[in-house]
Amino acid sequence: MSKTIPFPVESDVLEKSPTGITGLDEITGGGLPTGRPTLISGAAGAGKTLMAMEFLVHGARDFEEPGVFVAFEETATELIKNTQSLGFGLRHLVEEKKIGLDHIHIERSEIEETGEFDLDGLFVRLAYVIDQVKAKRVVLDTLEAIFSGLPNQAILRAEIRRLFRWLKEKGMTTIVTAERGKDGITRHGLEEYVADCVILLDHRVQEQISTRRLHIVKYRGSAHGTNEYPFMIGEDGISVLPVTSIGLRYAVPKERIPTGIPRLDAMVEGNGFYRGSSILVSGTAGTGKSSMAASFARATAERGERCLYFAFEESEAQIIRNMGSIGIHLQPFVDKGLLRFEAGRPSAFGLEMHLTMMHRVVEEFNPSVVLVDPITNFMVAGSDTEVRSMLTRMIDFLKMKQITSLFTSLTKGGHEIEQSEVGISSLMDVWLVLRDIEISGERNRAIMMLKARGTAHSNQIREFLITSEGIKLDDVYIGTAGVLTGSARAAQEDLDRIAELERRQEYDRKKLELERKRAVAGSQIAAIRASLEADEEEIRKINQQEQARGRTAVDFRSKMSLLRKADKPETEKGKKDD
C-alpha cells in the first residue's frame, strides 16, 4: 500500500511586502513577493537603483523591515549623496542600523571562468551584513558587475539560480537590478527565468519628449497589472500612475455646486452643476474660456473649498493680473491656500509624465474642483489618440474621487462648433460652447449649452458679456433678422421701442377718436331721444284732444235731440219703464 507524502503546510495566499512607492503597490496588488527575488531591469538612467533604494527606505522607515543594499558600482558615500535631495534620510537610517550599505568592487581580471567558479564569497559577505542589521530586505545593484567576465551560459544560469535560491532560503525579499539587453529583458537573457517577479523600466524619448514607463512582465502566483504605467521621479522619489482606465465604477453625488455666474446656473434649473461632474468649455480664441474657468475657481474658493488650476498657456501671475481686470480677484484665495496654480508648457514632458504629475498634485492638494486650461495644448505632446487616452484616464481618476472638473478646449476658426478639438466631448457630463457672432461690423460673444447629463437645461443662446464686474449673461435678440448681439441688438431694441411707442401713440389716437365719436353719437342719440319724446307728447295731447272732442260731440247730439223733441229725457224714460 502506497504512502501519501505530506506536503509542508503553508498559507495558500502569497505574502507580499509593500514597497511604499506611490502607485506600485496598487499595480502589484500589495507589493513584491515576500521572501522571493524580484528583478528590475532597464537601460541606464531608467531609475532601477532609485526604485530599489526607495523599496529599502520605506521598508526600514515605514514597515519595520531593515534592509541591505549591496552596490557593485557606487560606494556607500555616493549612494547617500545621490539620495539626499529626495529626503530619504539614508545616512540617519544607516546610523540607526536600519539599513546596511556595502560596496563590492569586482575586476574582470579577478574573475576566472573555471568549473570551480562560485559566489561563496558573496554569500558570506551578504550573510554578515544581513545579520548586522537583521535585514528582511536585500538589494543587489547590479548583476552585470558580477557576471561581466563570464560568457559561459551554463555557469551563468547555475550561479544565478544558486544566488536566488540562497536568498530564498534566508527568507529575504530581494530586488536585483540588471541592465536591459538589446533583444531581451536583460543582457544575458537569464535572470528573468529565475526571478519570481520581473519589472521592466523604460525611459523613452519621442519627438524630443521623454517619458518613463513601468511594465510588470511577470509575477508568479499573483494577479497584477499588465499594462505599461507611466511613472515619474520627483522631489519625493518615484511615483507611479496606477491606472490606465479606472472604469465606470464610482459614486455619483446628487449635490449641486454653483458656477459663480447666476444666469448660467439658471440654465440648469438654477442650481448649478452636479458635484463630481466633468464640464467642457469649448470655443475659438478670445471667446472667454479662461475667464469662465477663473470665475468657477473664484466661486469654489468663496465656498471655502479648494481649487486646483492647471494652466498650460499663461503663468500664475499673468492669470491673476488678467482676471483682476474683469473683477475676478484670485490672489486673496491663493494667499489663503484655497487656490493653487500649476503652470507649465505641455511640451516640457510627455503625456504620461503630465498625467502622473497631475495625479500626484491632486493627491497632495486634495481639491474639490480641478481646472485644466486648455486641454488642446496637449496635442503638441502626442497624437490625438494618445491625448484622448490620457484625458480619459484623468477624467476617470477625478470622477473616482468625486472631484468636479472643468476643461477648456480651443476650437479652430472655421471648424464645426459642435466638435471638440481632441474629441472628448462624449466623455463630458456638461458641454458649454462659446462662440463669436459677427454682425454689423462687430464680434460679440454668445454661449449655449449643448448638453447637461441628468438635468433639464436651457436650449436658448445667451449673450456672453465680460464686464469689469465679471461675467454676465444677457438675452440675445431673436427676430426675423436672426440672433442679434451687441450694438446690433441695442439698435434693434431701440427700433423696437420706437415701434412700440408709435403703436402706443396710434392706439391712444384711435382711442381718443373713438371717445369723440362716442360722445358725438351720444349727443345725437340724446337729440333723437328728445325728439321722440316730443313726438310722443304731441301724440298724447292729440289723443286727449280727440277724446275730449268725441265726448263733446256726444253731448251736443244729445242736447240737440232734446231740443228737437226727438227723444225724452233720461228721467222720464226711466219712470215710464217702471
Give kind and range of the element (H or E) at residue 364: helix 351-365
**Grid cell of 177 as nine digits:** 537590478
Cα 577 versus chain centre, distance: 132
Range in 265-269, 438-442, 505-509, 526-530 with the lowest mean pLDDT: 438-442
User: What's the confidence (pLDDT) of residue 303?
Assistant: 93
The confidence score (pLDDT) of residue 208 equals 67
Tens of pLDDT, residues 97-119: 899 998 887 655 555 444 455 56
pLDDT at 67: 93
Kindly indicate the confidence band of residue 8, based on its pLDDT and cuts at 50, 70 and 90.
Answer: very low
Predicted pLDDT of residue 148: 63
450 has pLDDT over 80: yes
Bridge partners (DSSP) of residue 434 are: 283, 447
Euclidean distance between the first and final Cα of the chain, in Å? 174
Higher pLDDT pick, 433 / 483: 433
3-state secondary structure 82-117: HHHCCCCCHHHHHHCCCEEEEECCCCHHHCCCCCCC
Find the helix or strand (DSSP H, E) in which 222 lies. Answer: none
Residue 190 is classified by DSSP as -
Strand boundaries in 374-469, DSSP class E: 404-410, 430-439, 442-452, 462-467
Predicted local confidence at residue 292, as pLDDT:
93
Whether residue 243 is predicted with pLDDT greater than 60 in this model: the reply is no
pLDDT of residue 444: 84
Q: Which whole number is the average pLDDT over 559-568? A: 68
pLDDT at 5: 43
**CB 469 within 8 Å of CB 259:** no
Predicted local distance difference test score (pLDDT) of residue 9:
43
**Interval 144-151 mean pLDDT:** 65
**Strand 16-17 and strand 256-257: pairing?**
unpaired
Averaged pLDDT, 165-191:
80
- And the C-alpha cell for 367? 481639491
DSSP 8-class letter at 46: S
Q: For residue 425, which of 392, 396, 456, 448 has the smallest C-alpha distance? A: 392
Give which of 211, 207, 216, 253 is closest to 230, Cα–Cα: 211
- For residue 401, which phi and psi values (nearest 5 degrees)? -90, 5
Region of poorest pLDDT, from 34-43, 165-174, 418-427, 543-552:
418-427
Q: What is the distance between the alpha carbons of residues 340 and 364, in angstroms, rounded to a whole number?
A: 11
DSSP H/E element including 166:
helix 153-169
Which pLDDT band, with edges at 50, 70 and 90, does 138 fall under?
Answer: very high
216 or 243: whose pLDDT is higher? 216
Residue reference for cell 471667446: 287
Residues 389, 225: Cα–Cα separation, whole Å: 17
Which residues, 6+ apart, have CB-to-CB distance to 23 below 8 Å? Answer: 229, 231, 239, 240, 241, 242
Alpha carbons 209 and 229: distance in angstroms, whole number:
17
The 10s digit of each residue's pLDDT in 303-342 is 999 999 999 989 999 999 999 999 999 999 999 999 999 9
* pLDDT (0 to 100) of residue 273: 92
Give the pLDDT confidence score for residue 485 in this predicted structure. Answer: 62
For residue 367, list its beta bridge partners. none
> Is it the case that residue 346 has pLDDT exceeding 60?
yes
**Which pLDDT belongs to residue 224?**
85
What pLDDT is recorded for position 437? 80
Average predicted confidence (pLDDT) for the chain: 82
Q: Phi, psi at residue 306, to the nearest 5°?
A: -85, 140
More confident residue, 372 or 113: 372
Does residue 406 carry a pLDDT above 60?
yes
> Mean pLDDT throughout 175-190?
76
The better pLDDT of the pair 72, 330 is held by: 330
Which of 72-81, 262-271, 399-408 has maximum average pLDDT?
A: 399-408
Identify the pLDDT of residue 114. 43
Percent of the chain with pLDDT over 70: 82
The β-bridge relationship of strands 137-141 and 173-179 is parallel
Q: State the pLDDT at residue 17.
A: 93
323 Cβ neighbours under 8 A, 6+ residues apart: 290, 291, 294, 329, 330
pLDDT exceeds 60 at position 528: yes
pLDDT of residue 242: 60
